[in-house]
């Protein structure tokens, strides 16, 4: 590591994507450099490639940190997570709507207290970094204080987070309700305060259609039309009972996706979480509008919501942008490796063998594409932001034993995502600076 804070150099096995392996072949989409060098300056990548070719670009006096036998990957990108549910992870569930009422709505009321929100934001960001996640799309609580707490902590750590205040004006405890007008006003003020403040970006955040009146959804759409470079995030088609509820609440709409589309909440930089039960017509609309889906397998298994069909979503005839989401706290792990493990199992149950390259793509460049941030994060390219993770393929005795038998980088990645967890994260770098070290 350099003594100059603005320059960092790391050496090891570089693994990254330059294109979508669902739509191309391995040679076109994936890059593996067995002895690579990554040089960063002032938070962005200044050089990347084979060590022998790039070492001459090392500034005088800079010696790279050599992570021998380790993998260096772009930082993981979590496209759906609730920081305000960190403390209820692992709460005994039944199904989505019961779980919301029994745990979520109770826990989120604590975030009116800024001191409490500050403490949880610190734990949350540190947990992301401990698991190699450098960027995330985050739900806060209904209270603006919860948003301030998260962005303040993210800015201290120089993380690229996208987040927003939940909008919710019905079908929830009174203490958690805003109104169509206050939700609009609070969100507008938060956009002005936080969007593009440091590396922070704002997301307009209706929780999901059942907890917002048509008036609130209309005002959320109006807010987005006034600030087109911010994001929209919400939930869709996670649970069958939820879908029936939406039909009852919005009888004039032809389906769940149509509710959001009619209120102007779909399109590029709109990310819909889950999408387990989206119809083919709705998938086509996601493709046509650029609307992305956050795939959250540990949560879908935990709440028994159903099996998201990744092969259907990524159909080359009309591919949809898909990123991975841990969906803490219905999701059961901050670890993207464990989330990929569960995504593989879910795909198997849909008779689709999800290979390691497609899985790691979803957690890195795929997530960046889902967030329309692939010009900044998700791959190793000169000029891109220098967020990356060092992965240790021998981090546990079992992984060490298993790693001795791997015959390819594809197999090594598959073993890592099947058996790995936070212990496999040797180090996490944010904007070129060491932000977490396991040791």
pLDDT by residue, tens only, the chain of 439 residues:
444 459 999 999 999 999 999 999 999 999 999 999 999 999 999 999 999 999 999 999 999 999 999 999 999 999 999 999 999 999 887 777 788 888 888 899 999 999 999 999 999 999 999 999 999 999 999 999 999 999 999 999 999 999 999 999 999 999 999 999 999 999 999 999 999 999 999 999 999 999 999 999 999 999 999 999 999 999 999 999 999 999 999 999 999 999 999 999 999 999 999 999 999 999 999 999 999 999 999 999 999 999 999 999 999 999 999 999 999 999 999 999 999 999 999 999 999 999 999 999 999 999 999 999 999 999 999 999 999 999 999 999 999 999 999 999 999 999 999 999 999 999 999 999 999 999 9
Whether 1 maps to a domain, the answer reads no
Q: Among residues 307, 261, 280, which one has the least CA distance to residue 272?
A: 261
- E strands, 168-265, are 201-206, 231-236
Query: Based on the domain organization, do 68 and 85 belong to the same domain?
Result: no
Can you give the pLDDT at residue 40? Answer: 98
Dihedral sign, Cα of residue 78, residue 80, residue 84, residue 90: negative
Lookup: tokens for 364:
């890195």
CATH number, position 52: 2.30.40.10
- Cα–Cα distances (Å) from 182 to 8, 264, 382, 385, in that order, read 45, 19, 43, 35
Phi, psi dihedral angles at 386 (to 5 degrees): -90, 70
Q: Among residues 197, 110, 113, which one has the least CA distance to residue 153?
A: 197
Can you give the pLDDT at residue 2? Answer: 41
Number of domains in the chain: 2
Query: Based on the domain organization, do 298 and 399 belong to the same domain?
Result: no
Query: Based on the domain organization, do 71 and 82 belong to the same domain?
Result: no
Contact 336, 78 (CB under 8 A): yes
Can you give the pLDDT at residue 330? Answer: 92
Q: How far apart are CA 418 and CA 423, in angstroms?
A: 13
Query: Based on the domain organization, do 93 and 172 belong to the same domain?
Result: yes
356-363 and 336-349 are packed helices; what angle lies between their axes, rounded to 10 degrees? 130
Per-residue burial over 196-229, b = 16 or more CB atoms within 10 Å of its CB, e = otherwise: eebbbbbbbbbbbbbbbbbebbbbbbebbeeeee
CATH number, position 153: 3.20.20.140
Out of 326, 341, 370, a domain closes at 370
Q: How far apart are CA 374 and CA 385, in angstroms?
A: 10
Can you give the pLDDT at residue 5? Answer: 55
Pairing relationship of beta strands 133-139 and 166-167 according to DSSP bridges: unpaired
pTM: 0.97
Range of the domain at 81: 76-370
Out of 322, 349, 370, a domain closes at 370
Out of 347, 370, 393, a domain closes at 370
Whether 346 maps to a domain, the answer reads yes
């Amino acid at each position: 590591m350099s003594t100059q804070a603005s320059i960092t150099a790391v050496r090891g096995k570089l693994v990254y994507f330059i294109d979508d392996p669902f739509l191309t072949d391995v040679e076109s989409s994936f890059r593996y450099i067995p002895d690579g060098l990554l040089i960063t300056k002032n938070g962005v990548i200044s050089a990347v490639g084979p060590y022998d070719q790039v070492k001459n670009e090392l500034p005088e006096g800079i010696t790279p940190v050599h992570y021998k036998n380790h993998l260096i990957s772009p930082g993981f990108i979590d496209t759906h997570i609730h920081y305000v549910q960190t403390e209820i992870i692992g709460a005994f569930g039944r199904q989505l709507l019961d779980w919301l009422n029994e745990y979520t709505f109770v826990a989120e009321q604590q975030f009116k207290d800024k001191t409490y929100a500050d403490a949880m934001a610190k734990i949350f960001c540190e947990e992301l970094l401990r698991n190699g996640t450098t960027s995330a799309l985050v739900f806060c609580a209904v209270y603006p204080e919860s948003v301030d707490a998260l962005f303040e902590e993210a800015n201290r750590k120089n993380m690229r987070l996208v987040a927003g205040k939940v909008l919710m004006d019905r079908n929830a405890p009174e203490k958690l309700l805003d109104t169509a007008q206050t939700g609009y006003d609070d969100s507008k003020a938060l956009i002005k305060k936080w969007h593009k403040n440091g590396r922070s970006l704002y997301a307009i955040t209706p929780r999901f259609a059942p907890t917002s009146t048509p008036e609130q959804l209309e005002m959320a759409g109006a807010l987005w039309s006034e600030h087109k470079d911010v994001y929209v995030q919400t939930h869709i088609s996670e649970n069958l009972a939820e879908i029936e509820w939406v039909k009852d609440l919005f009888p004039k709409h032809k389906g769940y996706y149509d509710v959001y589309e009619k209120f102007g909440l779909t399109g590029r930089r709109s990310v819909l979480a889950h999408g387990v039960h989206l119809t083919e017509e709705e998938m086509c609309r996601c493709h046509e509008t650029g609307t992305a889906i956050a795939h959250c397998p540990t949560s879908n298994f935990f709440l028994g919501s159903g099996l998201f069909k990744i092969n259907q979503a990524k159909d080359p005839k009309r591919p949809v942008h898909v990123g991975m989401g841990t969906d803490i706290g219905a999701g059961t792990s901050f670890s993207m490796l464990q989330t990929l493990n569960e995504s593989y199992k879910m795909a198997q149950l849909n008779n689709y063998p999800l290979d390691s390259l497609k899985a790691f793509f979803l957690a890195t460049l795929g997530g960046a594409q889902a967030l329309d941030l692939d010009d900044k994060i998700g791959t190793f390219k000169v000029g891109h932001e220098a967020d990356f993770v060092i992965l240790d393929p021998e981090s546990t005795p079992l992984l060490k034993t298993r790693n001795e038998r791997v015959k390819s980088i594809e197999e090594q990645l598959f073993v890592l995502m099947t058996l790995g967890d936070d212990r496999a994260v040797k180090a996490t770098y944010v904007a070129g600076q060491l932000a977490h070290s396991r040791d």
